[in-house]
């Protein structure tokens, strides 16, 4: 059993402000939002980084993208616009090593890609 923080959130051991959930993913408000809308979407199964996604047989990226669309609609930023980002490894800014997608919106985003 993983003691990864996002695994604990997926198992309900750490509370979160849930935005969306299905059998494969869970989306919740980021605890340190960088925009009025800042949601993190995680696969329920532990995958450490984007580099650990098996591109040939894993549909999790499609599923995360579909979930990002749903989150954007739930948060009301689908028409105004939003940003989807995946940080990978240290120089990519990844702090939590459980794959996650950031959905940012609710204000005009500048060039904040680092
Ligand atoms: P990253 O830098 O891509 O690894 O992003 C990790 C994100 O997870 C950061 O934006 C954190 O604010 C967020 N985060 C960490 N712990 C929690 C938590 N318990 N609940 C919600 N968001 C969290
Ligand atoms: Zn995990």
Atom of ligand 1 nearest to the CA of 86: 3
Q: How far is the CA of 78 from the centre of ligand 1 (A)?
A: 22
67 φ, ψ to 5°? -65, -35
100 an active-site residue? yes
Strands 25-29 and 101-105: unpaired
Neighbours of ion ligand 2 (CB under 5 A): 2, 4, 6-7, 46, 98
Write down the CATH number for the domain with range 5-105: 3.30.428.10
Domain positions in the chain are 5-105
Strands 25-29 and 18-21: antiparallel
Give the tens place of pLDDT for each residue, 82-111: 999 999 999 999 999 999 999 999 999 987
Give the tens place of pLDDT for each residue, 38-63: 999 999 999 999 999 987 666 999 99
């Amino acid at each position: 059993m993983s003691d990864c923080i996002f695994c604990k959130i997926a198992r309900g051991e750490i509370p979160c402000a849930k935005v969306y959930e299905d059998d494969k993913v869970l989306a919740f408000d980021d605890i340190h939002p960088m925009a009025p809308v800042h949601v993190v979407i995680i696969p329920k199964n532990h995958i450490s980084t984007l580099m650990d996604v098996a591109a040939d047989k894993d549909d999790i990226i499609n599923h995360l993208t579909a979930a990002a669309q749903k989150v954007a609609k739930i948060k009301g930023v689908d028409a105004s616009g939003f940003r989807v980002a995946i940080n990978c490894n240290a120089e990519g800014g990844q702090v939590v090593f459980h794959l996650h997608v950031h959905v940012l919106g609710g204000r005009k985003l500048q060039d904040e890609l680092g």
